[in-house]
Amino acid sequence: MLAGYMTHLLLAGIAVVPAGNDHGDGVGVSRNYFDYLISARDKPSRTPAVQSKAKPKVTCSYQRWWYANGLQKVGQGSADPDRTLSSEPVKDGAWYLLKCSNGSQKLVWLDNQHTKAAAEQLAQQAYKRIPITLPRVLTAPPRGRDALVGLPHWFYLAKGQWAPKAKRLSTGAVWAEATARPQRMTVDTGEGHSLICNGPGTAYDPARSAGQQSSTCSYQYQQPAQARQVTVSVTWGGTWHGSGGAGGTLPPITRSVTFPVRVVEAQALVTEG
């Protein structure tokens, strides 16, 4: 009875159990590539009239018994305990040996749809662990210097900010890798206008003359102001791939930073001669 119930809990176990390959963020439990641990309780047949003490947790492990090699499930007799693991890719599914700490054990069949669903849940966990920090925004004129009315004010990200980041997690034989890629930078100028830049902007090079370079993300302020509140946002798109050839997209992530920009009238230089 317990073994059958534990089979039902496999997907939940894969999703919530700490994964293998510790990356320094507290993830790491599995002891080898094929085994992983989950915890569950006996499922009561009905709610008892009198509350009893909680039953002890039962720890179980699932070990891949052998690859299915395209065969359909035809009964437990098809899972040969003496057969070695095949190097061929998993097609329809695979047999697993379920062993629990209460002494029960059973061979169970898991098709690839279950594996893909578990990989997707694992990818969502990996995506949340990707360190996406606030954007580090540079400007020209530099931050802290005045912007000039009628002249382009440049916005761009510091070097290394516009690069994909990935995180891979595994639990037993199930794995998933999530990747976040910067897609666009949006600048709220504080003057009622917004810029959408499809990149990190162009860095200003003080070693070159202004006429030798141009910006891919700039704005010309029209009115002076003591402090325009500028907000720069970077939006990241997510994708993932994992066990069983599964993969897909993940929700976008946006990080924003706000800072003041003082805007003044440009002063003309008049010379005699």
Residue found under tokens 């990989």: 119
pLDDT of residue 227: 93
231-257 pLDDT, tens digit per residue, is 999 999 999 999 877 899 999 999 999
Both tokens of 167, joined, read 């995180």
Residue type, 264: V
180/239 Cα distance (integer angstroms): 7
pLDDT of residue 92: 65
Outline where DSSP puts E strands in the chain. 37-40, 58-67, 93-100, 105-111, 137-140, 147-148, 152-157, 165-171, 174-188, 194-197, 218-220, 225-242, 247-264
79-120 pLDDT, tens digit per residue, is 554 555 444 445 566 666 777 888 888 777 766 667 778 888
pTM: predicted TM-score of the whole model, two decimal places? 0.63
Low-confidence ranges of the chain (pLDDT < 50): 1-52, 67-76, 81, 85-89, 269-271, 273
What does DSSP say about strands 37-40 and 147-148: parallel, antiparallel, or unpaired?
unpaired
pLDDT of residue 48: 44
pLDDT of residue 255: 97
